[in-house]
Amino acid sequence: MPPDGEQPQNIATTVTEVSERVSVLVREEIELAKAEVTQKVTRLVKGAVVGIAAGVFLLTAVLFFLHGLAWLAVYELFSNNKVFWGFIMVGGALLLLGALAGFIAARAVRSGAPPTPDLAIEEAKRIRETVTSDGGS
Give tens-digit pLDDT for 66-123.
888 888 888 888 776 777 888 888 888 888 888 898 888 888 777 766 767 777 788 8
Q: For residue 133, what is the DSSP state?
A: S
Q: Cβ(41)–Cβ(117) under 8 Å?
A: no
pLDDT at 33 over 80: yes
pTM over 0.85: no
Domain ranges of the chain: 6-131
Identify the CA nearest to 93 among candidates 101, 82, 81, 105: 101
Q: Tell me how crowded residue 120 is: count the other CB atoms within 10 A of its CB.
A: 19
